[in-house]
Amino acid sequence: DAGVIQSPRHEVTEMGQEVTLRCKPISGHNSLFWYRQTMMRGLELLIYFNNNVPIDDSGMPEDRFSAKMPNASFSTLKIQPSEPRDSAVYFCASSRGGREKLFFGSGTQLSVL
Amino acid sequence: QQQVKQSPQSLIVQKGGISIINCAYENTAFDYFPWYQQFPGKGPALLIAIRPDVSEKKEGRFTISFNKSAKQFSLHIMDSQPGDSATYFCAASLGANNLFFGTGTRLTVIP
């Protein structure tokens, strides 16, 4: 099993640009989570999907953030327009159901200049 | 508002020693308490988890101690090894959805 695959591993962009982060969950997993990790705030849940349906997006910081899961094997997190304070490591995680045993990807290191 | 408070922020332990990381929570409705281990450049990985109906769970050198009345739980790493050097996160969960993570403890085990 390849695990959760995220791309890109690193993204450097300028303020105001659109950023799209991608995630391929583990096959057979029906729950998908997007987390953001910073030194100041640690790991924060942004959004949670179950069976491709967004269940909880209360952690999405602003309307600039949006997430989609068009099918069971793909999800995107988009930031438009990006700002320097969005700089963080963004993790995607999947599980067989809910919060039990999340499998995390290696993350996307985002730097907004 | 931090749902789970974790300490210490960093910890240095000699090889063979015991590493202890503590977490505290306020919401008595939390019903699942996992610990995750994260190596540099990698995502967190589940290490061990406990539910509030037991006071202790052991898996190899890793033990969770849970004190429901004090609303505290801790991770003990026995016979700590340099390969255990990583960042450890406690977490707590309510219901099927969210996990609230602590801020992490960077553990360094000195050979």
| B22-32 pLDDT tens trace | 999 999 999 99
Q: Which of A41-45, A52-56, A95-99, B13-17 has the highest mean pLDDT?
A: B13-17
Residue B55 contacts A, CB cutoff 8 Å:
no
Residues near B53 by Cβ (< 8 Å), separated by ≥ 6?
A: none
Separation of alpha carbons B21 and B11, rounded Å: 8
Beta-bridge partners for A111 = A12
Hey, are the CB atoms on B93 and A99 less than 8 Å from each other? yes
Residue B14 has pLDDT above 90, yes or no: yes
Which residue does chain A place closest to B41, by CA atoms?
A: A106
How many other CB atoms are there within 10 angstroms of residue A91's CB atom?
26
Chain A residues close to B32, C-beta within 8 Å: 99-100
Look at residues A4, A3, A42 and name the one whose alpha carbon lies nearest to residue A21: A4
Query: Residue A1: pLDDT above 80?
Result: no
Is B43's CB within 8 Å of A97's CB? no
Alpha helix segments (H runs only) across B8-111: none
Residue A48 CA, distance from chain mean position: 9
Q: What tens digit of pLDDT does each residue of A43-75 get?
A: 999 999 999 999 989 889 889 999 999 999 999
Report the residue from B41, B97, B101 with minimal CB separation from A106: B41
The angle formed by the CA atoms of residues A84, B6 and B17, to the nearest 5 degrees, is 120
pLDDT at B38: 96
Residue B95: pLDDT band by 50, 70, 90 thresholds? Answer: confident
Output the pLDDT for position B94: 82
Q: For B25-76, what is each residue's pLDDT tens digit?
A: 999 999 999 999 999 989 999 999 999 999 999 999 999 999 999 999 999 9
Tell me what the pLDDT averaged over chain A comes to.
Answer: 94
Nearest CB neighbour to B101, from listed A42, A103, A106: A42
Mutate to test the interface with A, among B36, B50, B87, B97 (most CBs of A within 10 A): B97
In this predicted structure, what is the pLDDT of residue B97?
A: 65
**A81, two tokens:** 């327009």
Question: Of A49-58, B10-19, B72-81, which range is least confident?
Answer: A49-58
d(CA B98, nearest CA chain A) in Å: 6
H-run or E-run covering B108: strand B105-110
Question: Residue A39 pLDDT more than 70?
Answer: yes
Instruction: Identify the pLDDT of residue B96.
Output: 64
Minimum Cα–Cα distance from A102: chain B residue: B46
In the DSSP assignment, the letter for residue A26 is P
CA distance, residue B47 to nearest chain A CA (Å): 9
Mean pLDDT of A25-47: 92
Q: Does A67 touch chain B (CB under 8 A)?
A: no
Nearest to A13 by CA among A89, A109, A113, A86: A113
